[in-house]
Amino acid sequence: MDDALTLGGSVPPFESEATGGPVRMADLAGRKVVLYFYPKDSTPGCTTETREFGDASADFAAAGSVVFGISRDSLSSHQRFKDALGIPFELISDPDETLCALFGVMKMKNLYGKQVRGVERSTFIVDADGRLAHEWRGVKVPGHVAEVLERVRAM
């Protein structure tokens, strides 16, 4: 479902399990929401990206936004990852790929010469009115968090 959401379109209400309990899109109305999808807890690129979002979390909060990391990992894996890095925001577990499908982040990727289905590193900003305001797909980690923060501040 690569075209499940379009820029400027409303993000449907959803509820997902996260490290701090359920996350409901409806409860986030009036705030800018940063959702970053990453392939796997405790892997090099995902660790760097998550650490950088964590380091910038006060800046995101000052800009009126809340950040959530999302992967297919279990809540227990997320909690270990969060604790190991001292991450101040919640990680959403999406083992059934509901949010992955909604945001169209599942892709065929090359891994050691084999085609595998996995999460394409992607980030989305949902504005205070619940509309998809910006998206980055096929993210490269260096400089990405700063770019997202700049965009959130400009909103």
Q: What is the pLDDT of residues 58-114, one digit of tens each?
A: 999 999 999 999 999 999 999 999 999 999 999 999 999 999 999 999 998 777 788
Hey, which residues are catalytic here? 46
- How far apart (Å, rounded) are the C-alpha atoms in residues 122 and 67? 13
Give the residue from 140, 152, 153 showing the smallest Cα distance to 49.
140
Do residues 90 and 20 make contact, with C-beta atoms less than 8 angstroms apart?
yes
Q: How much is the pLDDT for 115?
A: 86
Q: Where are the domains of the chain?
A: 15-154
Fold of 15-154: Glutaredoxin (3.40.30)
Number of residues in the chain: 155
- How far apart (Å, rounded) are the C-alpha atoms in residues 145 and 141? 8
What percent of the chain has a predicted confidence (pLDDT) above 90? Answer: 84
User: How does DSSP assign 8-61, residue by residue?
Assistant: TSBPPP-EEEETTEEEEGGGGTTSEEEEEE-S-TTSHHHHHHHHHHHHTHHHHH
- How far apart (Å, rounded) are the C-alpha atoms in residues 100 and 105? 5
Q: How much is the pLDDT for 117?
A: 87
